[in-house]
């Protein structure tokens, strides 16, 4: 009896092993039949067709030693009337099934975005292969040129390169990681507006003159940085519904991230109160979440923003005074004044000039209305341009070192 049971168990194990082996082989066969897209670019042609660019990882570019002179990616471009028809054309050309399930980035050209991209966004969101976590970027050049200029220098995998590229916003504040899922939800929202990463390619003709270099007012394609990888992400693209209406530079983007509690720390240069024509580099860390309040007075929005920071001085003039409590207080006041100034300028730019609430103040305004219908009738996305702002900044600055008087 025991012998028969063992024999049955043995047969069952053999069957399971066979099924697992078959499943593994089948999966491997399926993967080999796929062309996995890492990034996708969408441009518009002169006759209003789409020019689609697909970037694939070049597996043959990595040799056994882990290095190669070959390009890390393969790029295909097709002109078509829609995204779906373009994908079908590419499939017929490469002899494999194109897969967007591992796409890390979707880039739209500035030219296309200024005409409206709702049709393309709907197509991508409804594609079950496209993940909501895929980053969306607006390029100041063509999307094709941006992808061609994106070269991993410190990562062996192109997918990792795009992940690191977007994550850098957490510790610089110069850009943000914005997904197509976020963009789609805000595009349909009645209490806020969408934004996207602003990308570009290093352009020597657009570079900031040496005498005017300031890391806080640069934007993609005009930064003073040069290197082997020409693509750069600095700033935000601002939308009204699905139409691009403007852009934010690095310091304006930082203000947006501070209000949205999306930055863990950032570096600013503020006037040195102890020496004229001198600046202090201070690394700022938020003490808690930025708080804001919205009131509707006689139909006009009044928005108050409160931020608390701590900061450490990173660099000073060699002959600066000893950092006593009085001087640290003066430095804190200088920092408060600077951040309040740039924050106020940023807020009025989004309301008066861009007329786009990318910080979702409207969601806080909803509580001022009895019903959702009342709020929708108020039409927040149109009323936002009439907003008034009050900004309160409280910074406590300390030194990382002591400098004695000479």
Residue 373 lies in a domain: yes
Q: Quote the pLDDT of residue 278.
A: 81
Residue 134 lies in a domain: yes
Residue 116 lies in a domain: yes
CB-based contact 90:75 (threshold 8 Å): no
Q: What is the pTM of this model?
A: 0.83
Give the separation between CA 112 and CA 140, rounded to whole angstroms: 11
Q: Are residues 73 and 215 in the same domain?
A: yes
Nearest CA among 116, 352, 351 for reference residue 239 = 116
Q: Residue 183, Cβ neighbours under 10 Å: how many?
A: 23
Which tokens go with 313?
A: 């001085």
List average pLDDT for each run of 10 residues in the chain, which is 406 residues long: 58 58 44 81 95 82 49 84 91 83 94 97 93 94 92 68 68 83 96 94 59 52 58 91 95 94 88 82 90 95 96 70 75 92 97 97 94 94 96 86 48
CB-based contact 294:312 (threshold 8 Å): no
Residue 23 lies in a domain: no
Which tokens go with 361?
A: 């103040």
Q: Are residues 244 and 112 in the same domain?
A: yes
Q: Quote the pLDDT of residue 29.
A: 39
CA dist list (Å): 316 to 283, 313, 331, 395: 13, 8, 12, 18
Q: Quote the pLDDT of residue 223.
A: 55
Q: Quote the pLDDT of residue 226.
A: 56
**Last residue of one domain, picked from the residues 249, 281, 316:** 249
**Last residue of one domain, picked from the residues 249, 277, 312:** 249
Written as one string, the DSSP assignment of 277-325 is T-EEEEEEEESS--EEEEEEETTEEEEEEEEEEEEEEEE--TTPPP--H
Q: Are residues 306 and 179 in the same domain?
A: no
Q: Quote the pLDDT of residue 264.
A: 86
Residue 209 lies in a domain: yes
Give the separation between CA 299 and CA 383, rounded to whole angstroms: 9
Q: How many domains does the chain have?
A: 2
Q: Are residues 138 and 206 in the same domain?
A: yes
Written as one string, the DSSP assignment of 86-116 is HHHHHHHHHSSEEE-TT--EEEEEHHHHTT-
Q: Are residues 280 and 353 in the same domain?
A: yes
CA 203, 204, 209, 214 dihedral sign is positive
Q: Residue 18, Cβ neighbours under 10 Å: how many?
A: 10
CB-based contact 34:26 (threshold 8 Å): no
Residues 6+ apart with CB under 8 A from 116: 241, 242, 243
Q: Are residues 228 and 283 in the same domain?
A: no
Residue 274 DSSP code:
T
CA 256, 259, 260, 262 dihedral sign is positive
Residues 6+ apart with CB under 8 A from 185: none
What helix, strand, coil percent values describe the chain, rounded to 5? 40, 30, 35
Residue 276 DSSP code:
T
The CATH number covering residue 399 comes to 3.30.300.210
Q: H-type helices in 135-241, by residue range?
A: 143-149, 158-167, 169-172, 180-187
- Domain range spanning residue 96? 29-249
Give the separation between CA 330 and CA 341, rounded to whole angstroms: 17
Beta strands 300-315 and 388-399: pairing type? parallel
Give the separation between CA 43 and CA 271, rounded to whole angstroms: 43
Q: Are residues 243 and 273 in the same domain?
A: no
Residue 16 lies in a domain: no
Residue 343 lies in a domain: yes
Nearest CA among 4, 65, 244, 269 for reference residue 140 = 244
Q: Are residues 223 and 312 in the same domain?
A: no
**Phi, then psi, of 156 in degrees rounded to 5:** -80, -20
**Phi, then psi, of 243 in degrees rounded to 5:** -110, 130
**Last residue of one domain, picked from the residues 249, 273, 305:** 249
Question: At what angle are helices 83-94 and 118-126 packed, to 10 degrees?
Answer: 60
Q: Quote the pLDDT of residue 90.
A: 87
Residue 10 lies in a domain: no
Give the separation between CA 394 and CA 286, rounded to whole angstroms: 10
Q: Are residues 351 and 245 in the same domain?
A: no
Q: Are residues 63 and 102 in the same domain?
A: yes
Q: Are residues 232 and 351 in the same domain?
A: no
Q: Are residues 99 and 240 in the same domain?
A: yes
Q: Quote the pLDDT of residue 2.
A: 59
């Amino acid at each position: 009896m025991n012998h028969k049971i063992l024999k049955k168990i043995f047969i069952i194990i053999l069957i399971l092993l066979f099924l697992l082996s078959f499943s593994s082989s089948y999966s491997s066969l399926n993967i080999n039949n796929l062309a996995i897209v890492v990034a996708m670019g969408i441009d518009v042609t002169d006759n209003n067709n789409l020019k689609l660019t697909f970037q694939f990882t070049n597996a043959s570019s990595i040799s056994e030693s882990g290095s190669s002179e070959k390009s890390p990616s393969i790029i295909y471009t097709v002109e078509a009337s829609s995204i779906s028809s373009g994908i079908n054309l590419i499939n017929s050309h490469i002899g494999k099934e194109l897969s967007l399930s591992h796409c890390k980035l979707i880039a739209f050209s500035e030219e296309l975005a200024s005409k409206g991209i709702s049709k393309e966004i709907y197509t991508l969101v409804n594609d079950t292969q496209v993940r909501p976590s895929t980053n969306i970027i607006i390029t100041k050049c063509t999307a094709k040129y941006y992808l061609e200029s994106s070269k991993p220098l410190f990562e062996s995998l192109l997918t990792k390169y795009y992940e690191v590229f977007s994550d850098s916003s957490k510790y610089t504040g110069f850009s943000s990681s914005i997904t197509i899922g976020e963009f789609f939800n805000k595009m349909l929202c009645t209490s806020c507006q969408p934004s996207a990463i602003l990308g570009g390619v290093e352009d020597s003709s657009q570079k900031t003159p040496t005498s005017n270099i300031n890391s806080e007012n640069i934007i993609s394609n005009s930064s003073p940085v040069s290197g082997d990888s020409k693509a750069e992400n600095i700033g935000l693209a601002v939308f009204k519904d699905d139409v691009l209406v403007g852009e934010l530079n690095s310091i304006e983007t930082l203000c947006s991230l501070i209000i949205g509690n999306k930055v863990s720390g950032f570096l600013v240069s503020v006037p040195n109160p102890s020496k004229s024509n001198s600046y202090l580099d201070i690394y700022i860390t938020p003490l808690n979440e930025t708080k804001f309040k919205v009131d509707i007075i006689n139909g006009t929005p009044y928005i108050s923003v409160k931020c608390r920071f701590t900061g450490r001085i990173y660099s000073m003039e060699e002959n600066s005074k000893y950092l006593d409590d009085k001087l640290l207080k003066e430095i804190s006041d200088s920092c408060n004044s600077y951040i309040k100034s740039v924050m106020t300028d940023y807020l009025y730019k989004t309301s008066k000039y861009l007329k786009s609430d990318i910080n979702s103040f409207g969601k806080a305004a909803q509580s001022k209305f009895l019903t959702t219908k009342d709020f929708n009738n108020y039409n927040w996305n149109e009323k936002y341009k009439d907003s008034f702002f009050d900004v309160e900044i409280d910074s406590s600055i300390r030194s990382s070192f002591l400098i004695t008087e000479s």
